[in-house]
Amino acid sequence: MSVKKIIFLIVISTLTVTAFAQTTNNTKPAAQSKEDKKKERNARLNQLMKQYEEGSLIYAKQSAFGFKINTDGWGMFYEHGKYKTIKKTSLWWLELGERKSPKEEKISSGQDIGGGFILVGNPYVYGKENNFYYLKAGVGQQYLIGGKGNKNGVAVSAIYGGGLSLGYLKPYYLNVHDPNTNTDNDIRYSDTVADKFLDPTLINGASGFTKGFTEGKFVPGAYARLALRFDYGRYNELLSALEVGINAEYYSKEMPIMIQNEPKQFFYNAYIAIEFGKRK
């Protein structure tokens, strides 16, 4: 065999061994990496199962409906949450409700007929100028303060966030008797009819609920919310909670509700809510 052929075979052999060694070296880390991932996944699943058995709230997402009573009205809401960590859940929500003045008091109008009193018309709020409704959209977080400890315990979470609010002022109508024409008319407050609107002897009662809805005006605003939620649901798949919190809202214009009260732009209230939902 010639010297050239021997050198050629040596070069080919060297290249083959080198390629095989590189392939082997590249394959082992990949196989090792896959094995590590499997171990990590199993460890994570074992941890989640342990947390579940201990009463921790383990889920991917949650949804809930609720009703709240405010110190100045009422509201109902829908909330959606997405699990981030064992402590944090990202939230977004929609809320619809009504804001009222603490000076509101419903009065029943009536007539004294032959020594007996008979109700006439719908109950009404004396001196009310507008109904104040709102629609709010917001985002925030739920932060777990204390887990259930066991499946029958209570989980305590802090809720915080805020967003945009759209207020709607609907004129408040009364059915009032006009002694000049001897007719009954639905009227809203204005300076020209103030004497009739504020005279209890002429008021028959509140007009229908839908009266004035097309005459209202929208006022944009913003708000912030802070609360504590107590989740007493027996199973982690179900959300049953009581929530107490505070809410602050600011609107771009003054929101008059009662005639004899100064209209406000800033509203602050406390609330208690009950909510039900499920987790997946």
Q: Is the pLDDT of residue 9 over 50?
A: no
Q: What is the pLDDT of residues 209-225, one digit of tens each?
A: 899 999 999 999 999 99
pLDDT of residue 110: 58
DSSP H or E run through 36: helix 3-53
C-alpha–C-alpha distance, residues 68 and 87, integer Å:
25
Please state, rounded to an integer, the average pLDDT across all residues of the chain. 83
C-alpha–C-alpha distance, residues 177 and 203, integer Å:
6
C-alpha–C-alpha distance, residues 40 and 97, integer Å:
48
C-alpha–C-alpha distance, residues 102 and 261, integer Å:
10
DSSP H or E run through 194: helix 194-197
Query: What is the value of pTM for the model shown?
Result: 0.75
Q: Where are the alpha helices (DSSP H) in 54-87?
A: none
Find the mean pLDDT for residues 238-262.
Answer: 95
SS3 call for 130: strand
Confidence of residue 177 (pLDDT cuts 50, 70, 90): very high
Bridge partners of 218, per DSSP, are: 168
Confidence of residue 119 (pLDDT cuts 50, 70, 90): low
pLDDT of residue 47: 55
Least confident of 3-12, 53-62, 152-161: 3-12
Please report, for the chain, the start and end positions of each structural domain, with discontinuous segments joined by +: 1-53, 58-279
Tokens 């982690």 -> residue:
236
Find the mean pLDDT for residues 15-19.
Answer: 47
Q: What is the pLDDT of residues 57-94, one digit of tens each?
A: 567 899 999 999 999 999 999 999 999 988 899 999 99
Asked if 221 contacts 251 with a C-beta cutoff of 8 angstroms, the reply is: yes
pLDDT of residue 24: 47
Confidence of residue 232 (pLDDT cuts 50, 70, 90): confident
Confidence of residue 38 (pLDDT cuts 50, 70, 90): confident
The domain made up of 58-279 is a member of CATH 3.90.230.10: no
Q: Is the pLDDT of residue 44 over 90?
A: no
